[in-house]
Amino acid sequence: MKSSINSARRTFLLLALSASAATCTLAQDGAKKSAPPSFAPLVPVQQQDYLKARRTFHTKLLRQGPAPQSWQPLTPPAGVTQVEYPSGPLWLKAGVNQPTAGNSRRYPAVLFLHGGSAFGMSDWLVAQPFRDAGFVVMAPMLRGENGQPGTFSMFYDEVDDVVAAAAYLRHQRYVDRDRLFVAGHSVGGTMTLLAAMSWKHFRTAASFSASPDRVLFVNYAPAPKTASHSMQPTPRNSRCALRWPLPPASSAPYGSTTVRRSRTST
């Protein structure tokens, strides 16, 4: 059993590295080379535990509405089934490549968190290597995305959705509970960091192309011309970015974006 868990973890990490390289290649394709920007002054690393801070932190949204990114109706690719998972009072959609009926085997599973604030067909492509390698992959849409119910809160209440999706996946009959992983890129990479600090049942987490400090990102990242006003880097949005307990990855007790978990009991 231990051998199969370690084998699944090695495969998961290799695929995550491959996906990370692929997304970086796509992002850099056609981009002009320039000197790396300076992110000074750096924000001091927070030492407070994220989960403990989150339990005592309360916020009030200044603007309520859906996620700012536009979206198009999607048809799941062959082999992927659309399901609904509960997150508090909300029922949200996700895609899962469920095994064929009558198959009693339990598979290693990956909760894959998409980039941006809307799910698109390109996100299926990024997650494809995990499915090809034999993992069950669940790709959730979060509150306010793709016409889903709920209010967009930029990494705050969405963490509850990720944990709820993970709990749903963990309790499926075809999933090996000891081999449940989480991975994501860009916005999904940041959500991966937050989820890994919020839920103990992930065997391993892999985050790539994340922005572990949103204050620096909002202050210094260039804004695409097509970006929604709510995502433009302005002083007001810098303040809004601070409306969570801690900068996302700053309380993580590890020095890289790969998180390994020891086996935990139910």
pLDDT at 222: 66
| Type and span of the H or E element at 6 | helix 2-28
What is the total count of domains within the chain?
1
The verdict on residue 7 lying in a domain is yes
Q: Which residue has the tokens 């895609």?
A: 95
The two structure tokens encoding residue 81: 């089934």
User: Which domain CATH number covers 23?
Assistant: 3.40.50
Spans in the chain with pLDDT lower than 50: 21-22, 24-30, 227-266
Nearest alpha carbon to residue 68 among 265, 226, 215, 242: 226
Inside any domain, residue 35 = no
DSSP-assigned letter for residue 38:
P
Residue 265 forms part of a structural domain:
no
Tens-digit pLDDT profile for residues 13-62: 666 655 554 454 444 444 555 665 555 556 666 778 888 888 888 878 88
What's the pLDDT at 212? 78
Write down the pLDDT at residue 16: 66
- Check if the beta carbon of residue 54 is closer than 8 Å to that of residue 245: yes
Buried b (16+ CB within 10 A) or exposed e, 209-232: bbbbbbebbbbeeeeeeeeeebbe
- What number of residues does the chain have? 266
Task: Compute the distance between CA of residue 79 and CA of residue 127 in angstroms, rounded to an integer.
Answer: 13
Does a structural domain hold residue 9? Answer: yes
Which residues form the domain of 150?
A: 2-27+43-260
pLDDT of residue 183: 96
155: tokens are 């990494």
User: Is 99 inside any structural domain?
Assistant: yes
d(CA 90, CA 160): 11
Any domain includes 191? yes
Does some domain include residue 169? yes
DSSP string, 220-252: HSPPPTT--GGGS--HHHHHHHT-SSS-TTTT-
Say how many CA atoms lie within 13 Å of 44 toward its Cβ: 3
Whole-number pLDDT of residue 242: 36
Identify which of 83, 145, 86 has the alpha carbon closest to the alpha carbon of residue 115: 145
104 is a domain residue: yes
**Under 8 Å between Cβ of 86 and 149:** no
Is residue 81 within 8 Å of residue 109, measured between CB atoms? no
The pair of structure tokens assigned to 228 is: 């929604």
